[in-house]
Amino acid sequence: MVNVLRIIGCLAVTSVCWSKEVVVNFAVVPSESVVEISLSTGGSDTQVVTYSGLMRALVTYDEQSLLPERFSFLDGRLAVSDSVHRLNSTITFAGLGTFDTGLVFTTEGVAADFVTEGSFSTFDSEGNFLNPEVHKTIINEGRAIVAVTILGETTSQTTEFAAEPVEGEFSGEAYLSIEEIWKTDVSQRLRFTLTYNNGGESSSPLDGTNATIRTVETSAMTALGEMEVRTDYGEWLLDRGLDPDNLPGPDSYRLPLPLLYAFDLPLDATTWPIFTSGSESPYVGLHLPSRGLRATVIPEISDSLEPGNWIPMPSEFYIDGPQSLSYGATGIAYIRLLNGDANFLRFRAEL
């Protein structure tokens, strides 16, 4: 199902880009995280936990290059498998003395929400979009239990995250790649791959003792989403009241629809922004849209009008090179005409 929210045009000095904004539903691929808990007084334990969950994100990307530009979590839920870390150490307790101590750190049913504070984050030069000031996690389900055993006596403390949510910042790096699975002139199916890598470390004192708890987490999480979207041409057709999947015949308009799109002309256009000049060295000039061509235009030549007898115009006949008719080009493009009475010229939009 097509799930495009809107298309955003952006104009540079010499080129045009078209950014598309979509809502992507991601599913977390079962992923593992290695968590090590250690004490400054000695003793450590390492356990592996797994992630699962779903999330929705608002993604903006460039339609031509498929490079992501902006990212925002709309909502998401990440569940973490239960874990138990058991440590033994010799710890000094203030006012009590020094004892051989057993500690057990347990998590049960922990789950967290993804939150984007503000509108979105952008991608840096390395492709990382994770911004701790924008992206947050809120642990609001499950519990954490710390049990301490001294001389055979055990005391424990439980934190219920539903009653005491814990807000945290994302650490590490997150990347988004977009891959085209298939494409037609009017639609394409895309795969979105979100990769999160975290090598976070934190330390906190064990209250009332000489020990410090150190937690090191190494995780790699992947989430995938696929969706079908309209191409820019498909959106252009929809905006003009046409059904991209059921277009009228080729003779319904004075000019071919792909060329009307490339030059961003109205459907009822009867003339094309073209002129000829010169006698000894004749040429054709094309006035290009001020916002740039929406598709690359290919001149083709033939010595007859027979189907299958058309070939691309040789590059030496572009006065300013083939790039003068490429996607995003503006200004005037000039093409030198071939000598001879039996040469024909036509133009094709490359969608």
The domain spans of the chain are 4-233, 248-350
- pTM, two decimals, is 0.81
pLDDT band at 279 (very low <50, low <70, confident <90, very high): low
Given this model, what pLDDT does residue 340 score?
Answer: 61
Q: Label residue 3 by pLDDT band (50, 70, 90).
A: very low
CB 286 within 8 A of CB 320: no
User: DSSP readout, 240-259?
Assistant: TT--TTSPPPTTSSSS-HHH
Cα 78 from Cα 138, distance rounded (Å)? 10
Least confident of 1-15, 88-102, 193-207: 1-15
pLDDT at 305 over 50: yes
Domain 248-350 has CATH 2.60.40: yes
In this prediction, residue 126 carries a pLDDT of: 86
Q: Which of 13-27, 45-59, 266-280 comes out lowest in average pLDDT?
A: 13-27
CB-based burial label for 329 (10 Å; 0-12, 13-18, 19+): buried
- At residue 7, the pLDDT reads 32
As given in the structure block, the two tokens for residue 154 are 């055990």
The predicted structure's pLDDT at residue 5: 31
**For residue 331, pLDDT beyond 50:** yes
- Quick: pLDDT tens for 311-326: 999 999 999 999 999 9
pLDDT of residue 131: 85
pLDDT at 19 (0 to 100): 86
Token pair for 254:
């004075």
Say what percent of the chain tops pLDDT 70. Answer: 93
Mean pLDDT of 181-201: 93
pLDDT tens string 83-140: 999 999 999 999 999 999 999 999 999 999 988 887 788 998 889 998 888 888 899 9
CA dihedral (61, 170, 104, 141) positive or negative: negative
- C-beta of residue 78 within 8 angstroms of C-beta of residue 111: yes
Residue 349 burial (CB count, 10 A): 21
Do 329 and 292 touch, CB atoms closer than 8 A?
yes
Residue with tokens 């593992």: 32
Q: Is 342 exposed, middle or buried (0-12, 13-18, 19+ CB in 10 A)?
A: exposed
Residue 67 pLDDT > 50, yes or no? yes
Give the model's pLDDT for residue 44. 96
Please indicate whether residue 187 or residue 271 has the higher confidence score (pLDDT).
187
Distance CA 84, CA 103 (A): 10
Query: Could you read off the pLDDT of 148-184 as tens digits, one per residue?
Result: 999 999 999 999 999 999 997 777 889 999 999 999 9
User: Span 200-211, mean pLDDT?
Assistant: 90
Q: Please choose, from the candidates 300, 230, 213, 220, the residue with its C-alpha nearest in 3D space to the C-alpha of residue 36.
A: 213
Q: What is the mean pLDDT of the chain?
A: 88
